[in-house]
Amino acid sequence: IVVTQSPDSLAVSLGERATINCKSSRSVLFNPNNLNYLAWYQHKPGQAPKVLFYWGSTRESGVPDRFSASGSGTDFTLTITSLQAEDVAVYYCQQYLNSLPKFGQGTRVEIK
């Protein structure tokens, strides 16, 4: 399964919305449990990457609610509704439907 993100980078003004897309080459929706096997991560330089969402849209504890995730099957979106300075990072999606985990290429979010 190949995972592709868009855009590769984006610059957003503080307080504005940032939207990142993730597309999987095959559906990551597992029909028996109706769960999407997709996670989102935030990676800041020099820090450990941090999971933001799993099962497509389940928010990890402690993640601010300005972050949201949606989508199903092959198309997913991560949205930051009001960008803060501390949100500058590279964001990755990752499929875990099979035992060969695959990340998207990453989207760099910067302040305009």
Partner 1 sequence: QVQLQESGPRLVKPSGTLSLTCTVSGGSVNTYYWSWIRQVPGQGLEWIAYIHDTEPANYSPSLRSRVTISLDTSKNQFSLSLASVTTADTATYFCARGGTSSKWFDLWGRGTPVTVSS
Q: Is 99 in the site for partner 1 (CB under 8 A)?
A: yes
To which residue do tokens 């990142």 refer? 20
Query: Which residues ranging from 40 to 79 are in contact with partner 1 (CB under 8 A)?
Result: 41, 43, 46-51, 54, 60
CA distance 88 to 109: 5
Q: Measured from the CB atom, is 79 or 105 closer to partner 1?
A: 105
Q: Measured from the CB atom, is 13 or 25 closer to partner 1?
A: 25
CA distance 8 to 12: 13
Q: What number of CA atoms fall less than 13 Å from residue 5's CA on the CB side?
A: 26
Query: Where on the chain is the footprint of partner 1 (CB under 8 A)?
Result: 37, 39, 41, 43, 46-51, 54, 60, 92, 94, 96-106
